[in-house]
Structure 1
Amino acid sequence: MKRYCQEAIQSFPSIKLIVFTGGECFLLGKDLYEMVSYVHSYGLKSRIISNAFWANSYDAAYNCLKKLKDCGLTEINYSTGDDHQEYIPIQNIKNAVNASLNLEIITCVNIETRNDRNFGVADFISDDEIKKHLSINRGQFRVIAGMWMPFTEEALKQLPHKDKGTYTIQCGRCENLFESVNIMPDGKMIACCGLASKYMKYLHLGSMCSGKVKLLYDKQFNDFLKLWLFVDGPYKILEFIERKKIEVPE
């Protein structure tokens, strides 16, 4: 991880933020604390994305985050929603939010959003304690609706259609391409962040073991389809294919 970070930082001096995500990056244990310190030694900001499984009480959350704050952590994002709450109670998220804001860590809660969700942003921000935080900690705390990507055939059938409220999210251009250097635990670079990218071979750029980070990153600009995704987005590409009646090979 240190080697990957060092190479990325040296290749792209404009990098300002290193993000540790997953899966669940707290499973790294002590290595996570060491990496946050390592990033801090370069004078960079760091962000962690977590489901807050470790925050089963306020004290547990505070003690955990205090160590990370001392290591130099600047931001933390929590993920929750219907699927997360099968395993992690919403109280864990509240404990974690209380602790991170008391430690003056920039905090964001990302809530799974799709048209068939039972728990959404409105449910979370209706909590009195969360309302208070949103009022007091402006600029330090926000709650966002994140598009939740389905991974089963049944879930795919539930995706919103053109007339649903999430249509604009689906139909915009891809703003994440070219904006970051994304490295998986196995050393493979991918073009975009998020679990869905792991399952799309087209977004795999190659291995850090066989190529330099800048070389792998720059190769993207020779790919017309990635440029098109960045400019117009996947929905407009599909509309173009339909309009032209282009046959796409399996």
Structure 2
Amino acid sequence: MSPADTETAMLRRRGHTLSIMPTFTCPAKCADCGTLSSPRDRTRLEPAVVLAAIDEARHLNFHNIVFTGGEATLEWKTLLLGIRRAADHDFPVRLVTNAHWATSLETARARLAELIDAGLSEINYSTGDEHVRFVPLERVVLACVAACERRFRTHVMMELKQDRGITPDMILEHPLITALPPHQFDALTILSSPWMPLRHETIYQYPEGVACDVQAAAIRGGCSSVLKTYTLQADGRIGACCGLGLRVIPELNVADTAQPQFLRRAILDAEEDFLKLWIHHQGPAKIVAWAATHDPSISWEGMYAHQCQMCQRLYHDDAVRKVIAEHWQEMIADVLQAAWLDNVHIPDTLGKLSAAVNA
């Protein structure tokens, strides 16, 4: 394969997602916010940069577009412009929002109508014990009702910690939700995700069985975000993952909008980093567990529930970094084998099975 062919394969093989943070501003100031967003941070992208990123993503055959933040709806005009451009390119478009704008059912319906008319195809609401200190749960309920009424794909992502006060049942059992007819209610999905601190030294308590141990690490797959999602942040940096903790791991920021063809540059630079390939194909939990076999002083079992916590640990813990620096070559064969399975063998096998079924 020629260098040009290799580069083309690298740019196109993963079904990339472009995540866009139009702003770091957010009406909430959650403790341990994964993107360090707050009401005081006024950093924002110019609309032309957002449109340029979407156009380049189309040229590179990205799979979908996600708008997140910060709170993307605070840059309403830019958000609608971006959704329209993405829809014009036939991208599926998802919005992640805390639903602060759903101050009444009528307002929620009107906002959803604008978003859907622009080309939005999915909406994700974030809530939980931290979020409700700033955005009442009732607003999430109203936003869910407005979306479900239209049978629009609706997800709620709820913070998970031990002894949490806000639970999925508080939405599912709300009178406005239970009043929805089944064909509308079926549009709603509620999931829980561990709420994580950005410092690996800070340890939260999670329900039993949620925090990772050796057995869980052994069966966890690779990271579905690193090298798959490229995030255009409000400060113009391009990160090679979804965004949780991205702003505090310099190594994950691989390009910026001052560079020509910044998405292409980000992908090519990121894919040259063995550690990122290792994280993508085997996952950060396996790497930390492996590091602990070389240095038994590395304690990690039962401490972390979220993949991104493990990633914070391997990038910030000097002991883990030392093991990686001294012993990473031991893992070259394993990572290359995992890459071959992920990129060649499994897709080829599934393609042949699909062809046989459809023959």
Pairwise same-fold verdict (TM > 0.5): yes
SS in 1 for 2:159: strand
Counterparts of residues 55-70 of structure 1 (less than 5 Å) = 55-70=102-117
Kept after mapping to 2: 8 A contact 1:105/1:140: yes
What is the aligned partner in structure 2 of residue 238 from structure 1?
288
What is the aligned partner in structure 1 of residue 258 from structure 2?
209
Shift of 1:44: 1.8
Kept after mapping to 2: 8 A contact 1:107/1:142: yes
Amino acid at match of 1:165: G
Kept after mapping to 1: 8 A contact 2:65/2:92: yes
Instruction: Label 1:233 to 1:153 Cα distance change in 2 as closer, same or farther (>3 A).
Output: closer
Question: Which has more radius of gyration?
Answer: 2
Kept after mapping to 2: 8 A contact 1:133/1:141: no
Percent of residue pairs bearing the same amino acid type: 27
Instruction: Label 1:218 to 1:137 Cα distance change in 2 as closer, same or farther (>3 A).
Output: farther
Please give the alpha-carbon distance, in whole angstroms, between the structure 2 residues aligned to 1:223 and 1:153: 23
Shift of 1:121: 2.4
Instruction: Label 1:249 to 1:77 Cα distance change in 2 as closer, same or farther (>3 A).
Output: closer
2:262 equivalent to 1:218: no
Please give the alpha-carbon distance, in whole angstroms, between the structure 2 residues aligned to 1:159 and 1:174: 23
Please give the alpha-carbon distance, in whole angstroms, between the structure 2 residues aligned to 1:128 and 1:165: 32
SS in 1 for 2:254: strand
2:147 equivalent to 1:97: no
| TM-score (normalizing by structure 1) | 0.87
Instruction: Label 1:50 to 1:134 Cα distance change in 2 as closer, same or farther (>3 A).
Output: farther
Please give the alpha-carbon distance, in whole angstroms, between the structure 2 residues aligned to 1:134 and 1:239: 47
SS in 1 for 2:138: helix
Of structures 1 and 2, the one with the larger relative CO (CA 8 A, separation 6+) is 2
SS in 2 for 1:193: coil
Q: 1:19 aligns with which of 66, 71, 78?
A: 66
Counterparts of residues 1-250 of structure 1 (less than 5 Å) = 1-11=50-60, 13=61, 15-131=62-178, 133=180, 135-137=182-184, 140-151=187-198, 156-160=202-206, 164-168=208-212, 171=217, 172=220, 173-212=222-261, 213-245=263-295, 247-248=319-320
SS in 2 for 1:157: coil
Paired positions, count: 245
Shift of 1:38: 1.5
SS in 1 for 2:101: coil
Shift of 1:221: 2.1
Instruction: Label 1:195 to 1:238 Cα distance change in 2 as closer, same or farther (>3 A).
Output: closer
48-57 vs 129-138, greater mean Cα deviation? 129-138
Kept after mapping to 2: 8 A contact 1:182/1:189: yes
Kept after mapping to 2: 8 A contact 1:81/1:119: yes
Amino acid at match of 2:286: K
Kept after mapping to 2: 8 A contact 1:134/1:141: no
Cα displacement string for residues 9-46 of structure 1 (whole angstroms, at most 9, x for unaligned residues): 112x2x23211100100010222112211111112221
What is the aligned partner in structure 1 of residue 17 from structure 2?
none
Kept after mapping to 2: 8 A contact 1:108/1:144: yes
Kept after mapping to 1: 8 A contact 2:65/2:94: yes
| TM-score (normalizing by structure 2) | 0.62
SS in 2 for 1:18: strand
* CA RMSD, Structure 1 to Structure 2 (Å): 2.6
Please give the alpha-carbon distance, in whole angstroms, between the structure 2 residues aligned to 1:46 and 1:167: 32
Please give the alpha-carbon distance, in whole angstroms, between the structure 2 residues aligned to 1:102 and 1:238: 45
Shift of 1:157: 2.6
Please give the alpha-carbon distance, in whole angstroms, between the structure 1 residues aligned to 2:138 and 2:185: 22
Cα displacement string for residues 112-156 of structure 1 (whole angstroms, at most 9, x for unaligned residues): 1122422122433333543565943476321111222224789x2
Cα displacement string for residues 75-124 of structure 1 (whole angstroms, at most 9, x for unaligned residues): 11100000000001111001101111223321111101122422122433
Please give the alpha-carbon distance, in whole angstroms, between the structure 1 residues aligned to 2:181 and 2:265: 43
Amino acid at match of 1:201: P
Please give the alpha-carbon distance, in whole angstroms, between the structure 1 residues aligned to 2:82 and 2:52: 11
Please give the alpha-carbon distance, in whole angstroms, between the structure 1 residues aligned to 2:255 and 2:205: 30
Kept after mapping to 2: 8 A contact 1:69/1:103: no
